[in-house]
Structure 1
C-alpha cells in the first residue's frame, strides 16, 4: 500500500518529502501503534460481549483511553513537526476522525448504536494503523506484499465477524462471529456454527470468495518475493560484470597507450 493509497483511507502518515524530524517521529509512532494493536487484539472478543464483567470492562475502558491518548499524541506531534501541515491533515483524516469519535464516546456523549459503532471503529483503526506501521518499517519483513496481505486478512476477518454477529441469530457473541467467519473463509466447515438465515448464508458465500482471494494474494506475495530475490541476484551479477568490464577496458586502454608511447 503506497503512501497515496494510504492517504485515501486517511492513514497516509508522514510523507517521505517531509522534514527528517517528522519522518523520524513518524517511524517511532508506527512502531508504538504496532505494539498497541498487539495489546488490543485479544480484547476484540469482549468488545460486544454483554456478559463482560465489571473488572474487564474497567480494564477495557482504561485501554481505550490509552488508545485515544496515543492517537492524539501521534496526530498533533507529527502535525507540529510537519512542513506540509495541510497535506498531513488531508492525508490523515481517519486519524483525526478516530480522535473525535473516541473522545465523544468515552466522555459519554455518544449513546446507543452509535456507542457500539464508535468502539468498533476504534478497533478497526488499530488494525489499519498496524498495517501502516508494518509497511513503514518494511525492513523488518521479507516483502511488502506479505504484511499487506496479513493486514487485509485481519481487517476482512474482523468485519466478517461483525457481519455474522448481526446477521446470524444463533451467534450470541462477537467471538462466535469471528469463528464462523474463519471457518467460512477457510472453507473448513466444522459444523459447530452454521448460517441459518438467507442473509447470513449469502454473506457466507461472499466470505468464501473473499477467503479464496486473500489466500491467492498471500501466495502471490510469497511468489513475488522469491522472484524479486532472483531478479536482485541477477542485477547484482550484471552490475559486477559491468564493473569488471570497465576495469578490463581501462587496463586495455592503458596498455594500448603504453605501447603507442
Structure 2
C-alpha cells in the first residue's frame, strides 16, 4: 500500500517538483485532521449528530484537498499521460471514494495518498517508515474494525481496547482467536492486516539482513585494505633493506680503499731511482 524511496538524488527543479515540495507539509497536516475526524465518532459513539456531521465535512474537505492536489500535479506534469501511468495508484485512490461513499473507503484512499506523498520526502528512512506504517495500520485498523463490528449482532469486538488487541495479534500473525470479526467488511480488514503484517515483517527481516550483510562487507573491505597496506609496507621495508645493504656495501668498499691507501705510506706512488 505504501512505498518508500531512500534515493538521495536531488529532484528535478520543475513546476511539479516545486509544488510537491511546497504542498508536502500542508497535506500531512490535513491528513492528521482527517485522522482525528475519522476517529472521534468511532471512539466516542455517543457524540451528537452535529459533531458527526462536522467530522464528515472535515473528511470530505480533506479529501477534496487531496483530489485538487492530484489534479494540480497532473496539470503541471511535463507529460500527463506518463504521469497517469506512473501514478495510477494515486488515481485509483482519488476515484475510490466516488464509487461508494463509505467512510472506510475514504480512510483507505487517504492512507494511500499520504503514503505516496511521504515517498517523495528524501529525509524518510526505512526504519521510520516501517515504524510509521505499523502505527498507522494498528490504529486505523483498530478504528475501522471497531466501526463495523461494534454493532454486529454476533460481534465480540465492542471496545477500542478489544480492537487494538485484535489488530496487534492479527498484524503479528499470532491470532489467539479470542477476538474475531464476524462481518464481511471486518474479515476483509483482517485479511488486509494479515498481509500488511507479513509484508512489514518481511521488510524488517530484509532490512536487518541487509544491515548485517553491509556490515560484513565493510569489515571485509576494511580487512582487504589492511592486507593491502601490510603488503605495501612489506614491499617498502624490503626496498629499504636492499638500499641499506647497498649503502653498507658501498661504505665498506670506500673504507677498504681508504685503508689501502693509508697502508702504502707517503712514497707508495713514487718510482725507485735507477742504480
| 8 A contact 1:186–1:211 mirrored in 2 | yes
| 8 A contact 1:160–1:178 mirrored in 2 | yes
The counterpart of 2:179, out of the listed 164, 169, 194, is: 194
Partner of 2:132: 150
Asked if 1:133 corresponds to 2:117, the answer is yes
Distance in 2 between residues matched to 1:73 and 1:95, nearest whole Å: 12
How far residue 181 of structure 1 moved from its aligned partner, in angstroms, is 1.2
Do the aligned partners of residues 125 and 88 (structure 1) sit closer, same or farther apart at CA in structure 2, a change above 3 Å counting? same
How far residue 172 of structure 1 moved from its aligned partner, in angstroms, is 3.8
TM-score of the pair, normalised by structure 1: 0.57
Distance in 2 between residues matched to 1:83 and 1:158, nearest whole Å: 36
The counterpart of 1:61, out of the listed 56, 61, 64, is: 56
| 8 A contact 1:149–1:214 mirrored in 2 | no
How far residue 25 of structure 1 moved from its aligned partner, in angstroms, is 0.9
How far residue 71 of structure 1 moved from its aligned partner, in angstroms, is 1.4
Asked if 1:40 corresponds to 2:34, the answer is yes
How far residue 85 of structure 1 moved from its aligned partner, in angstroms, is 0.8
How far residue 95 of structure 1 moved from its aligned partner, in angstroms, is 3.8
1:35-79 C-alpha deviation (Å, 9 max, x unpaired): 222232234434657644224213312312321331132112212
TM-score of the pair, normalised by structure 2: 0.54
Corresponding residue pairs, total? 213
How far residue 185 of structure 1 moved from its aligned partner, in angstroms, is 3.1
1:219-246 C-alpha deviation (Å, 9 max, x unpaired): 54356457658878979xx8xx9xxxxx
Stretches of structure 1 that go unaligned for 5 or more consecutive residues are 4-15, 105-109, 242-261
Do the aligned partners of residues 74 and 206 (structure 1) sit closer, same or farther apart at CA in structure 2, a change above 3 Å counting? closer
| Over 6 Å off, 4+ runs | 16-19, 187-191, 196-201, 203-206, 229-235
Partner of 1:177: 163
How far residue 177 of structure 1 moved from its aligned partner, in angstroms, is 3.2
Do the aligned partners of residues 171 and 2 (structure 1) sit closer, same or farther apart at CA in structure 2, a change above 3 Å counting? closer
C-alpha RMSD of the superposition:
4.8
Distance in 2 between residues matched to 1:156 and 1:83, nearest whole Å: 38
Distance in 2 between residues matched to 1:43 and 1:175, nearest whole Å: 19
| 8 A contact 1:185–1:207 mirrored in 2 | yes
Asked if 1:70 corresponds to 2:55, the answer is no
Per mean C-alpha deviation after superposition, the further-off stretch among 213-222 and 152-161 is: 152-161
Stretches of structure 2 that go unaligned for 5 or more consecutive residues are 229-275
